[in-house]
Amino acid sequence: MKNFIRVSKLTRIIVVFLVVLLGSLALTSCYDTPRPLNTSSQPGAINASASAQTQASPSPGVAISYGAAGVKTVKIYFKASETSGSFDAPSAKGTEAKPGAGLQAIRLFSADGTVMSSGGPSAPTWPRWLTAVELGVSGSNNVAAPSADCARFSAPGESSASQCKIVNSAGVSKAISCGGPSGFYRVSEVDCAGSVTANGDGGPGDGVYVRVQLNRDPAAIEPGENLLAILEFSASGLHSAPVQPSECVQNGKLTPEFCSDTTWKAFIKHSSKDVVQPFLLVAPPLLARMQPDTALVGGSEVQTKQIVIPLASDPALSVFQLSRTSGADPTDEALKAACLGGKTIGNSPLCAGMILYSLTLMRF
């Protein structure tokens, strides 16, 4: 009898256990089972078919745009030449210091150096997104840069003439060539300083500058596009960078104009008439200078600077400008002795100054 009771109790326990187990399985079957992870090499990647079963289909989004149609890359050569430069020869009196009055580019080149368009912005092959490219050329018409030898294109033979004079450690005077390569746009600081060329601020009245005007019509440049500017140039100075950076600081502000023979800055603006804070310091640094114990030309090294112009951040940005914001000290006797070489006209941008070779603009 006792054995029968024990068996009955055991039977009831087993029955209850089975009921609970079967109920749990029934409840579990109401839920979707976890999908297996993909076995691909991507860590944490989810199997595509499983993801489709467990996630709702996304609603259609905005179509991805890769920019307005047309030419994406143009190159401007800062040279006065009908075959290899973007500019024609300017007036001997220079250009007026106001927007639109600069020397206008009339030829554009492809990245490989072949001519893309000739005839200026009205030519049918001229890209719609580039309205104009202009240069400030010094001369009597340019009230901000009145000397014809300050900012102009190099004359033939200028690069081979020995315009500069340096004295080595033994006190021996040596004449060297420091002119710009023939035909290229160059700024000779000793000539600019002697004519009291005005310092620029990136505004409409600058006398020595490069100004690029863009067409922000969405059909020409879509709102999501940006621009990459690649500048090839030589920036040179007679003086080296100061040993103590404090020489470049005034009123607690780092100011390169106080410790460089030439200073250029980049500006991005809504309008050519705007005056804004600089976007980037282009020069200094000056990669090299005239050395007293060598015959090397200080600025002969060509350097490249890449500048991202964030057009997508503001649909009203339409002007990219490079401006000479300061130059050499006109009272610096060492600079005058070296860069003038005993003459009244220096023509010596590779002693202290700037030479512009090309500017490539790339939409992306």
Instruction: Please give the torsion angle defined by the CA atoms of residues 275, 279, 282 and 284, in that order, rounded to the nearest 10 degrees.
Output: 90
Phi, psi of 46 (to 5 degrees): -105, 140
What is the distance, to the nearest Å, from the Cα of residue 164 to the centroid of all Cα atoms in its chain?
31
121: how many CB neighbours lie within 10 A of its CB? 18
- Rounded average pLDDT over 163-180: 81
pLDDT one-digit tens code per residue, 39-54: 333 333 323 333 333 3
- Rounded average pLDDT over 340-360: 90
- Predicted confidence at residue 133, as pLDDT, reads 98
Q: Which helix (DSSP H) or strand (DSSP E) does residue 319 occupy?
A: strand 319-326
Q: Which domains does the chain have, with CATH numbers?
A: 73-147+196-329+350-363 (2.60.120)
More confident residue, 98 or 250: 98
pLDDT score of 184 more than 90: yes
More confident residue, 129 or 16: 129
354/360 Cα distance (integer angstroms):
18
Instruction: Please check whether residue 109 is in contact with residue 116, taking contact to mean a CB–CB distance below 8 angstroms.
Output: yes
Global pTM reads 0.79
Half-sphere exposure at residue 51, Cβ-oriented, CA atoms within 13 angstroms: 9
Beta-strand (E) ranges in 136-221? 151-153, 164-167, 173-176, 185-188, 209-214
Instruction: Tell me the pLDDT band of 292, cut-offs 50, 70 and 90.
Output: low
Partnered with residue 324 across adjacent β-strands are 264
Q: Which two tokens stand for residue 268?
A: 């991005």
DSSP state of 101: -
- Rounded average pLDDT over 233-242: 87
pLDDT one-digit tens code per residue, 126-145: 999 999 999 999 999 999 99
- Predicted confidence at residue 1, as pLDDT, reads 46
Q: Taking all residues of the chain, what is their mean pLDDT, rounded to a whole number?
A: 82
Q: Where are the alpha helices (DSSP H) in the chain?
A: 2-28, 48-54, 189-194, 333-340
Pairing of strands 288-289, 227-237: parallel
- Predicted confidence at residue 33, as pLDDT, reads 35
pLDDT one-digit tens code per residue, 252-275: 887 888 889 999 999 999 999 999
Q: Which two tokens stand for residue 219?
A: 């059909």
336/331 Cα distance (integer angstroms):
8
Phi, psi of 86 (to 5 degrees): -85, -5
358: how many CB neighbours lie within 10 A of its CB? 20
pLDDT score of 232 more than 90: yes
Q: 355: burial class by Cβ within 10 Å (0-12, 13-18, 19+)? A: buried
More confident residue, 251 or 221: 221
- Predicted confidence at residue 286, as pLDDT, reads 86
pLDDT score of 5 more than 60: no
Residue type, 4: F
271/268 Cα distance (integer angstroms):
9
